[in-house]
Amino acid sequence: MTPRVRIVLADDHALVLEGLRSLLDAQPDMQVVGAATDGAQVMDLLRAQRPDLVVLDLEMGTMSGLACLARIRSEKLPVRILVLSAYGDGNSMRAALDGGADGYALKTDPPRNTVDAIRQVHRGQLVFPIAAKRWLLGTSQASDPRQLTEREKSVLALLAEGTTNAEIARRLRVSENTVKFHLQNLYMKLSVGNRTEAVAVYLRERVPRR
């Protein structure tokens, strides 16, 4: 039998915690091993329980979700992080991804979406809301390298040098998840499916770097 995903929940609303616990404990492949209402409790639970994944709210008591996220990553705790927030704007999602979150889901989405997001993040996939993705991309969907943002141009240029995601993240001083996010945006804007095709567009168009 496949071991269940061990999960810690973090939210400063008791009703949200109770609802999430009931939802996830009803899943055959999930087990809630702890719940916290502030960042300090989250850190204690992570050290004691060593869960596979934490579902983290951005707004919490004395230590915000972003501060908690930064602490988790600075201590290099081996846990995947799904941010579950009421904020669906691109700025909040960028902050979470830059902080090292593995995924971002919205409280306003159906419960099934949260369950699916947890499974995807546990498998190592980068997850974020379609609505927030559209907000970040804007209205342009044309396959035109000149419509890339300055950061996307920088990522594409480094990609053409043959650098890995980790190296791009180090050189741009962002998280690897942020690099993955930019790559997904690049692929969509350029109408390509992978790194090789994106580099081919770069070499053909010579997209200028900032």
Q: How far is residue 65's CA from residue 147's CA, in Å, rounded to a whole number?
A: 33
Task: Tell me if domain 5-133 and domain 139-205 are identical in fold.
Answer: no
Select from 181, 13, 164 the least CA-distant residue to 96.
Answer: 181
Domain limits of the chain? 5-133, 139-205
Q: Which residues of 103-121 are buried (b: 16+ CB within 10 A; e: fewer)?
A: bbbbbebeeeebbebbbbb
pLDDT of residue 92: 84
* Backbone φ/ψ region at 119: left (φ over 0), alpha (ψ -120 to 50), beta: alpha
pLDDT at 145: 56
**Token pair of 104 as six digits:** 């971002």
pLDDT (tens digit per residue) in 35-71: 999 888 999 999 999 999 999 998 887 788 889 999 9
Distance CA 74, CA 59 (A): 20
CATH class of 5-133: alpha beta
- Selection from 60, 56, 17 nearest residue 38 by Cα: 60
Instruction: Indicate the CATH number for domain 139-205.
Output: 1.10.10.10
Distances, alpha carbon 63 to alpha carbons 11, 91, 104, 105, in Å: 11, 19, 19, 20
Q: Is 153 helix (H, G, I), strand (E, B) or coil?
A: helix
CA distance 132 to 53: 22
Which of the residues in the chain have pLDDT under 70?
A: 1, 130-146, 206-210
What pLDDT is recorded for position 136?
Answer: 53
As separate numbers, helices (DSSP H) first and strands (DSSP E) second, the chain gives 10, 5
Predicted confidence at residue 97, as pLDDT, reads 82
Question: What distance in Å separates the CA atoms of residue 50 and residue 44, rounded to the nearest whole number?
Answer: 10
Q: What tokens does 88 get?
A: 């669906």
